[in-house]
Amino acid sequence: MDLGELVTALNDFASLSLAESWDNVGLLVEPSPPHAVSTLFLTNDLTEAVMEEAVQRKADLVLSYHPPIFTPLKRVTWKTWKERLVVRALEHRIGIYSPHTAYDAVPHGVNNWLTKGLGACTSVPLHPSMAPSYPAEGSHRVEFCTDNTEHLDMVLAKIKDIQEISVTTLPARVDGEEQTRVSLNCSQKALLEVVALLSQNSLLYRKTEILLLQKPLLPHNGMGRLCTLSEPVSLSDIIERIKSHLKLPHIRLAVGASKTLESPVRKAALCAGSGSSILKGTEADLYLTGEMSHHDVLDAVANGISVILCEHSNTERGFLSELRDMLAVHLQNKINIIVSEKDRDPLQVV
């Protein structure tokens, strides 16, 4: 596949508009065109060892869940490991693409994969995603009614000269009088011009309403998941399920105040990776994530919530095998898709 065609297909699989605003997602390194992709190489973290594996396995594009370029690079030399990743990628004509939090948000992404470790359950996003655009043109709406048709026509003619604005007029009855209701959808920049124009024509209307429009929420998309188990199970059983799902011999556990290993778990809040900011304040029997700060764990425990920590990337990496199968279908088996064997969490229990 052509690189551009593949990137478009990857964006269709999980829209980058769902990624958090602070994230650095999409195509991060692009070899000079034309660039054909025969082998797509999946990894959770693109380390130097993983990059060498990608070179050996003749990858044409690396899909790294975590973006290897996050803070801006001021130069590309052999001095730091992240600069060396870019050098090696370009030397071997390997592109680098990162979806990160876009994969966290989608209903077929990392967090939904993590819910499977709990057993049968229903889940909803803890922080639903918003649509990338407003339901109508513009971020603000200005509304007013008037019975001065002649003056209105003059003002509307001036309003229509303003960029980034749409105008709707409808007949309306106000206090028993036939009037015209004017609705203006506009950008924040255009709003300033509209307000200035209307203030110069205040005799046209009695009252003006300015509304801030909200982007609609997207059902089933968002950060974290609140899971309701089909049947309550003990904390000890949940621990064994999670260890089996993540293929881990050990996890870290903090038992909630007044709880035991036999306490029932009915609701679990989870977030792949580092979940403190997503989980905080959620009412649940259990928090499941990769890592949390010491004080956030103390807060959860004091509120009777048990906490399971599995290390950051251990709550993400297992998704890659599922991703490989889904992408094979999505891309109609046009390319070879392989998962890194060198990729692993940097921390281990010894």
The annotated binding site is made up of 66, 104, 312, 316
The candidate with the shortest Cα–Cα distance to 330, out of 31, 23, 40, is 40
Element (H, E) at 222: strand 217-234
The candidate with the shortest Cα–Cα distance to 273, out of 44, 37, 95, is 44
CB 131 within 8 A of CB 217: yes
CA separation for the pair 65, 273 (Å, rounded):
11
303: CB partners within 8 A, 6+ apart: 256, 257
Phi, psi at 174, each rounded to 5°: -125, 120
Token output for 56? 């050996």
Radius of gyration of the chain (CA): 26
Report in angstroms the alpha-carbon separations of 348 from 44, 148, 165, 262.
16, 75, 57, 27
Report in angstroms the alpha-carbon separations of 282 from 92, 265, 325.
46, 14, 33
Give just the sign of the alpha carbon dihedral 103, 110, 290, 337: negative
302: CB partners within 8 A, 6+ apart: 257
Q: Which residues are annotated as a binding site for a divalent metal cation?
A: 66, 104, 312, 316
CB 126 within 8 A of CB 279: yes
CB 233 within 8 A of CB 268: no
CB 217 within 8 A of CB 130: yes
CB 188 within 8 A of CB 139: yes
CA separation for the pair 13, 25 (Å, rounded):
14
